Amino acid sequence: MALTTAPEQIDRIVGNYHHNPFDVLGPHRIQIDGKDVWTVRAYLPKAESAWVIMPDSRQAVSMTNEHHGDFFECILDVDDLASYQLRYEADGHEHVIYDPYAFRSPLVTEYDAHLFGEGNHHRIYEKLGAHPTTIDDVTGIYFAVWAPNARNVSILGDFNDWDGRQHQMNIGHGGIWGLFIPELTVGAHYKYEIKNHEGHIYEKSDPYGFQQEVRPKTASIVADLNSYGWQDDAWMEQRRHQEPLSQPISVYELHLGSWMHESSNNPALQPDGTESPVVTVADLKPGARFLTYRELADRLIPYIKELGFTHIELLPIAEHPFDGSWGYQVTGYYAATSRYGSPEDLMYFIDQCHQNGIGVLVDWVPGHFPKDGHGLAFFDGTHLYEHADPRKGEHKEWGTLVFNYGRNEVRNFLVANALFWFDKYHIDGIRVDAVASMLYLDYNRKSGEWVANEYGGRENIEAADCLRQTNHLLFSYYPGILSIAEESTSWPMVSWPTYVGGLGFNLKWNMGWMHDMLDYFSMDPWFRQFHQNNVTFSIWYAFSENFMLALSHDEVVHGKSNMIGKMPGDEWQKHANMRCLYTYMFMHPGKKTLFMGMEFGQWSEWNVWGDLEWHLLQYQPHKELKAFFEQLNTTYRSEPALYTQDFDQQGFEWIDCSDNRHSVVAFIRRAKDSDEFIVVVCNFTPQPHSHYRVGVPAKGYYREVFNSDAREFGGSNMGNLGGKWSEDWAYHNRAYSLDLTLPPLATVVFKLDPARTSSAALSGFV
């Protein structure tokens, strides 16, 4: 039979360097002797013989392989070839498949590619990646990957013996390669084989893949994220209608892999009873393994409810190759880490959190990515996701690469990724890691190691625009959520709306407050009188941004000691100092975040390879500290004055901030649209004070609603017998005052009791 295509075209297919295999393979309408006929061409490596099975008659028409032993062709004089199949023999076995090159309906349209090229395709993850779909009544998986500079791209998988010759992809609009593989199902393992124009081969995981193998393996896994049946409609509807900044927000930050482990004596099981593909942790005791997402739901959620936190914040759960990176060196931005189970398992965990009234925040890392060969680095044989110039494209200190935020498709990758976690996993917020590293071109770079922007400045304008676009879209699509910046500099308007020039976050970690307070509490109490400014300075700028007060994982690693180790004095004083600090933190304007282990006074630094020191809870001081947190969160959540005006100067008023001789401060917190207020007095020394007078704004009985020195918390149980009546003694420029007892190293909180005050007034006692 005469060839119906040029030999050089066949050679390019056989050599696996054709950029458009659809031009050669599959069905083609041609003319022979003036008559329209079909030719079907197939490249079937290792096949010994092949046939085309006609769709209606099931007749098998033999194919020939005259030009090359693996390239088959036949001529068919028929009108319709829809849904034909190929039958071939290889290695003594017969195979019947649908021809991938017979399906020419691309999932990625020209309009999709146009939006992606603009950086405005908000759901690009529904187009790129691997997606179960049906074309011409045949089910299968459609693959699409952006690799504009590749010479050719193939799909490797367990379904083709990882042979890149068998499923060569076709390049379409915008440098996007695509191919539909019929009858392939969810669960298939795959990678992309990418060749550059020099013929160098790169095997890459799918940048938009929804699941990856358990490390150290790196293949992507076809997953269906639309099959889980969510039960959190009430939570999602409530969230949509609330203003989070006027709600209590108390966040428990944790790393899922080191909160708690399980022994090998208790294997993890899937809902169907089969064993989960979770992995052991080599650096722990022999046989220890991670808890699964479902096991974490059973153990973590009751614990969080008992403590009273409103949210949990998960250190990055996107796929990462190295446990010791804590998740901050991401290779699979769209893949929930398989360490703890499947995507559906994570959905179940978040669903259960919502059904139990707990919000879920996730750390998001758009600032850098690692150089691992299977990841984004040098993806299509060029610097695709990163800058080519190392002065802009590399964090030398971290050994990572920087995204090219000025490239529309890269910005689209990141913006859509943030939207993805809210869309598919129903998360309630993100905490964006290392924002400062994104915003400054000279971040951790010496002179001559960075490139100025177009105006000669050090600001990364493209990164700032990327963050603005992300936040604008997040709040447009998902009102009621949180977007939190870990930003350690004085970049202006981080938590201001984008329409006034801000970056668009609605919260920013207050790194200045954290450093000031940890420096203050680490010093001997006698010296604190000389450093009163550490306590008071934060109020000077407290309302310039929407601040979150955070004592995070970064403060309990790398030789910094855990919180209890930072505190001076004997063991009792260490615990008292912590209770005083935490209470002051919860009374101070701003939302709150604490890292796991702080709630019961862990002594050791956080170790990503181990558990928290749960054994400490058998000892009374640690048990009492946990009870303290339960009551502190209860008090915080029950008093609107402590959270409704966190970001308004009307919500805070100093009573006295100048008593540095006693290291005492007193202030008022006021509720929004209400006359309610809270009086807070902090004694930062171990010296108790009796008859300490504090001015108050109203006459009446002030109930002591919280005392960090209470006996049930392990304190000395000094206090004010449940409350104090005001006296007509003008003090602190107020007409009334309280004569208080201030316990050592303690914060005491008072609230005017209108009912008791009114009752006493009617009886003539006041």
Cross-strand partners of 143:
130, 179
Cα 562 from chain centre? 24
Kind of pairing between the strands at 129-135 and 547-551 = unpaired
**Sign of the C-alpha dihedral computed for residues 683, 684, 685 and 686 taken in this order:** positive
Could you tell me which of 531, 639, 534 has the C-alpha nearest to residue 587?
Answer: 639
* Neighbour count for residue 500 (Cβ, 10 Å): 8
Task: Return left, alpha or beta for 21; rule: phi > 0 is left, psi -120 to 50 is alpha, else beta.
Answer: alpha
Q: Which three-class secondary structure string do you get for 157-216?
A: ECCCCCCCCCCECEECHHHEEEEEEECCCCCCEEEEEEECCCCCEEEECCCCCCCECCCC
> Is 486 part of the annotated catalytic residue set?
yes
Alpha-carbon distance of 9 to 567, in angstroms, equals 74
End-to-end alpha carbon distance in the chain: 112
Amino acid present at 640: P
- Which pairs with CB-CB distance under 8 Å and at least 24 residues apart come from 637-641? 637/248, 637/250, 637/308, 637/310, 639/671, 639/676, 639/678, 639/705, 639/751, 640/671, 640/672, 640/674, 640/676, 641/669, 641/670, 641/671, 641/674, 641/676, 641/677, 641/678, 641/751
Burial class (CB in 10 A: 0-12, 13-18, 19+), 582: buried
- Please tell me which residue in 112, 206, 394, 433 is annotated as part of the active site: 433
Tokens in use for 534? 């550490």
Q: Return the structure tokens found at 624.
A: 């009492």
Long-range Cβ contact pairs of 713-716 (< 8 A, separation 24 or more): 713/579, 713/624, 713/625, 713/627, 713/628, 713/631, 714/572, 714/575, 714/576, 714/579, 714/620, 714/621, 714/624, 714/625, 714/628, 715/576, 715/579, 715/743, 715/746, 716/688, 716/743, 716/744
Q: Which of 428, 486, 545, 639 is catalytic?
A: 486
* Catalytic residue numbers, as ranges: 433, 486
